[in-house]
Amino acid sequence: MLARLHKRMNKEEEGFTLIELLVVIIIIGILAAIAIPVFLSQKQKGYEASMKSDLRTAAQEVESQNVDNQDYTKTTFKGATPAVAAAAITGSNQSVGNSTSVNLSAGNSITWVGSTVTSFCLMATTSKVATNPPVWYYENSAGGISTTPCTQ
């Protein structure tokens, strides 16, 4: 009985043809071609989200100091008073406003673009994106975060 079952199984098992294997490989290649750009796009969105988060954090500290001063030109940024245009912060324990503990995401940089008595502008960049790195701006008088350069 066992010998007949074994003989019957050998007849039914013939394997895959070369055409079937090629079709499967082509389908896997097409799926990979679709998935890889989507993954890279998500990675870019993650970097941009970290930049926006860092901008909001720095802007909140600037706004916090402005409650006392009522003048954005007196805001301290990277230890300078008043804030100096083109002063940039990166890394952890940075000085913004009344706080000296602003921590930025790795690779991100926040630059003080400029200010008037009633408004200020910050710019965020990242070193994580080599080709066409995104640049985000925070301008309080224009409503917050955007990709449009500040008017100051």
Does residue 11 belong to any structural domain of this protein?
Answer: no
What pLDDT was estimated at residue 85?
Answer: 73
Please list, in sequence order, all residues whose beta carbon lies within 8 angstroms of the beta carbon of residue 104, skipping any fewer than 6 positions away.
54, 57, 89, 90, 91, 92, 94, 110
CA distance 21 to 15: 10
CA distance 139 to 73: 14
Does residue 73 belong to any structural domain of this protein?
Answer: yes
Does residue 59 belong to any structural domain of this protein?
Answer: yes
Which whole number is the average pLDDT over 3-29? 77
Least confident residue range of 8-22, 42-56, 69-83? 8-22
User: What range defines the domain where residue 36 resides?
Assistant: 17-146
Query: Residue 140 in contact with residue 120, Cβ under 8 Å?
Result: yes
CA distance 111 to 114: 9
- Confidence category of residue 56, pLDDT binned at 50, 70, 90: very high
Does residue 118 belong to any structural domain of this protein?
Answer: yes
Give the tens place of pLDDT for each residue, 102-143. 899 999 999 999 889 999 999 999 998 878 889 999 999 888
As for how many domains the chain has, the answer is 1
Give the tens place of pLDDT for each residue, 29-51. 999 999 888 887 888 889 999 99
Mean pLDDT across the chain: 86
What pLDDT was estimated at residue 122?
Answer: 94
Does residue 26 belong to any structural domain of this protein?
Answer: yes
104: exposed, middle or buried (C-beta count within 10 Å: 0-12, 13-18, 19+)? buried
3-state secondary structure of 74: helix
119: exposed, middle or buried (C-beta count within 10 Å: 0-12, 13-18, 19+)? middle
State the pTM of this model. Answer: 0.73
What pLDDT was estimated at residue 139?
Answer: 94
What pLDDT was estimated at residue 65?
Answer: 87
Does residue 35 belong to any structural domain of this protein?
Answer: yes
Q: Sign (positive/negative) of CA torsion 143, 99, 102, 132?
A: positive
